[in-house]
Amino acid sequence: MSDSGATAALPDPAAVSLAIADLDRLISTLRDDGRVVIGPTTRDSVMTLDEIAGAGQLPRGWLDEQSPGKYRATPSETATAFAHGPPSMSWKRFLHEERTLVISTSRTNGAMVIDPAPAAPEKPLAFFGIQACDLAAIGVLDVALADDAAYRRRRDDLLVVAASCTDSVATCFCVSAGTGPRPGPLADIVLTELADGSLIADARTERGAAVLTRAGLDTAATEADCRSAAALVDAAAARQTRHLDTEAIARAAAAPDDVGWDAVAERCLTCGNCTMVCPTCFCTSISDQTRLDDGCAERWQIWASCFSLDFAYVHGGSVRTSPTSRYRQWYLHKLVTWHDQFDSSGCVGCGRCITWCPTGIDITEAITS
Q: What is the pLDDT of residues 132-153, one digit of tens each?
A: 999 999 999 999 999 998 899 9
- Mean model confidence pLDDT for the chain: 90
> What string of DSSP letters covers 167-212?
---TT--HHHHT--SS--TT-SEEEEE-TTS-EEEEE-SHHHHHHH
Q: Is 254 in the same domain as 322?
A: yes
Confirm whether 6 is domain-assigned: no
Q: Tens of pLDDT along 70-94?
A: 999 999 888 899 999 999 999 999 9
Q: Is 225 in the same domain as 341?
A: no
Q: Is 26 in the same domain as 77?
A: yes
Confirm whether 260 is domain-assigned: yes
Residue 2's pLDDT is 43
Domain boundary among 214, 238, 262: 238
Confirm whether 327 is domain-assigned: yes
Q: Is 167 in the same domain as 202?
A: yes
Q: Is 190 in the same domain as 255?
A: no
Residue 314, strand partner residues: 317
Residue 9's pLDDT is 46
Confirm whether 113 is domain-assigned: no
Q: Is 218 in the same domain as 182?
A: yes
Q: Is 166 in the same domain as 229?
A: yes
What separation in angstroms does the CA of 184 have from each of 115, 138, 325?
Answer: 41, 11, 35
Q: Is 44 in the same domain as 128?
A: yes
Range list of β-strands (E), 195-296: 199-203, 284-290
Angle value at C-alpha 258, between 252 and 264, nearest 5 degrees: 75
Q: Is 67 in the same domain as 138?
A: yes
Percentage, residues of the chain above pLDDT 70: 93
Confirm whether 104 is domain-assigned: no
Q: Tell me the average pLDDT across 329-339.
A: 91
Q: Is 183 in the same domain as 250?
A: no
Q: Could you count the other beta carbons within 10 Å of the beta carbon of residue 343?
A: 8
Q: Tens of pLDDT along 207-224?
A: 999 999 999 999 999 999
Which amino acid, residue 349? G
- CB proximity list for 343: less than 8 A, separation 6 or greater: 143
- The tally of domains found in the chain comes to 2
SS3 100: strand
Percentage, residues of the chain above pLDDT 90: 70
Q: Is 56 in the same domain as 74?
A: yes
Domain boundary among 238, 254, 282: 238
Q: Tens of pLDDT along 89-136?
A: 999 999 999 998 888 888 777 777 887 766 666 899 999 999 999 999
Confirm whether 298 is domain-assigned: no
Helix or strand run (H / E) with residue 232: helix 223-238
More confident residue, 367 or 179: 179
Confirm whether 134 is domain-assigned: yes
Question: Is the confidence at residue 13, as pLDDT, over 60?
Answer: no
CA–CA separation, 311 vs 329, rounded Å? 11
Residue 327, strand partner residues: none
Q: Is 228 in the same domain as 257?
A: no
Which residues form the domain of 159? 16-97+122-238
- pLDDT class of 314 with cuts at 50, 70, 90: confident
Query: What angle do helix axes 132-144 and 149-156 make, rounded to 10 degrees?
Result: 140
- CB proximity list for 219: less than 8 A, separation 6 or greater: 16, 17, 18
Confirm whether 314 is domain-assigned: yes
Question: Is the confidence at residue 10, as pLDDT, over 60?
Answer: no
Residue 115's pLDDT is 79
Residue 113's pLDDT is 84
Domain boundary among 238, 262, 283: 238
